[in-house]
Amino acid sequence: MLNRWMSAGIVALALIIVIGMTTAYAERSESEGEKLEQLIHTSNAAMDQVERMIIKWQGQGTGSAEEQAARLSEQLGLPRPVLGSQTGHDVYRSEIQAEGSRAGILVNAVVTGENGYYVIVQLAGNRFTELSELVFLHEQVDQLLANSEVEATWNLAVQGTGTTDASVSNQLEVTEAKLSGQLGMHAAERYTDDNTASVSYRVPELPTAIQSGSDVLNMQIAVHQDHDKGSNRITLGFPVITIEY
Q: Give the dihedral of Cα atoms 201, 202, 204, 207; nearest 10 deg.
A: 60
pLDDT in tens, 214-230: 899 999 999 999 887 77
Mean residue pLDDT of the chain comes to 87
Given phi > 0 = left and psi -120 to 50 = alpha, else beta, which region is 106? Answer: beta
- Give the pLDDT confidence score for residue 48 in this predicted structure: 81
What's the pLDDT band for 208 if we cut at 50, 70, 90? Answer: very high
pLDDT reading at 118 higher than 50: yes
What's the pLDDT band for 11 if we cut at 50, 70, 90? Answer: very low
DSSP 8-state assignment for residue 23: G
Tell which wins on pLDDT, 107 or 12. Answer: 107
Full DSSP string of 174-211: HHHHHHHTTS--EEEEEEE-SSEEEEEEE-TTSS-EEE
Nearest to 56 by CA among 90, 6, 114, 22: 6
Q: What's the whole-model pTM score?
A: 0.86
pLDDT in tens, 134-165: 999 999 999 999 999 999 999 999 999 887 77
Q: Beta-carbon neighbour count of residue 168 at 10 Å?
A: 22
Provide the percentage of residues in the chain whose pLDDT is more than 70: 88
- Give the pLDDT confidence score for residue 19 in this predicted structure: 45
Spatial contact of 161 and 48, defined as CB atoms under 8 Å apart: yes
CA atoms within 13 A on the CB side of 136: 8
pLDDT reading at 23 higher than 50: no
Q: Is 29 exposed, middle or buried (0-12, 13-18, 19+ CB in 10 A)?
A: exposed
Mean pLDDT of 121-133: 94
DSSP lists the bridge partners of residue 123 as 55, 105
Amino acid occupying residue 57:
W
Q: How far apart are alpha carbons 13 and 36 in whole angstroms?
A: 22
Query: Most distant CA pair in the chain: distance in Å?
Result: 55
pLDDT reading at 16 higher than 90: no
pLDDT in tens, 59-113: 999 999 999 999 999 999 999 999 999 888 999 999 999 998 899 999 999 999 8
Provide the percentage of residues in the chain whose pLDDT is more than 90: 70
Spatial contact of 74 and 66, defined as CB atoms under 8 Å apart: no
- Give the pLDDT confidence score for residue 5 in this predicted structure: 34
pLDDT reading at 10 higher than 90: no
